[in-house]
Amino acid sequence: MEPILKSAATVLLTYTAHYVTTKAYNYACVPDGLMGYFMGLITTGSPVCQAGVQVISNTQVSYSSMILMSVSRLFVDLVAPGTATNLADPKSI
């Protein structure tokens, strides 16, 4: 049960970082409206905004990989039942 909780916490932390960074980037680098359009010409090149884009990109890749791996694992368990390893039993590894 502990590996499942750790995995869920990792997904939650990754998504939270992605969400918070996206909202901060939207607020600070490209605000809504016409003024944000013109501000974006200047602010999107700043190091802070570029770092925000990198964090958004990397967390998106991590999050989508976690989803893909989880769905793949469910598919493997459906296609080949009995292949799941018991992580609590060190002999099964």
Neighbours of 6 (CB within 10 A): 10
Ordered by start, the domain boundaries in the chain are: 9-74
The pLDDT assigned to 71 comes to 85
- Give the model confidence (pLDDT) of 22-33 as tens digits: 999 999 999 999
Global pTM reads 0.73
DSSP secondary structure of the chain? -HHHHHHHHHHHHHHHHHHHHHHHHHHHTS-SHHHHHHHHHHHTTSHHHHHHHHHHHHHHHHHHHHHHHHHHHHHHHHHSTT----TT-GGG-
Question: pLDDT tens digits for 28-61?
Answer: 999 999 998 999 999 989 999 999 999 999 999 9
